Amino acid sequence: MVLAVPVAPPDAVTTLREDADEVVALSTPSDFAAVGEWYEDFSQTTDDEVVDLLSRSTGETGEAHPGK
């Protein structure tokens, strides 16, 4: 499994490497405090948005359909 993230604290990347085959983090700032600090817009996703996206990503069998 490859875990890819745009930004992460260095200690988290070290810990995640124990469980993932590969961890890719574009930025690992030493002064990392919160992920939202690194985004221009880090607004919350509503429950309704999540339910809608999940329902659109699965077929009747419940299997994921990439690209939808």
Q: What is the pLDDT along the chain (68 residues), one digit of tens a residue?
A: 999 999 999 999 999 999 999 999 999 999 999 999 999 999 999 999 999 999 998 764 455 555 54
pLDDT of residue 60: 45
pLDDT of residue 57: 86
**Domain boundaries, given as residue ranges, for the chain:** 2-29+38-57
Residue 23 burial (CB count, 10 A): 20
Q: Tokens 């988290």 identify what position?
A: 12
Residue (of 56, 3, 57, 12) closest to 33 by Cα position: 12
pLDDT of residue 66: 58
pTM > 0.75: no
Residue 50 CA to residue 3 CA, distance in Å, equals 21
Residue 18 burial (CB count, 10 A): 7
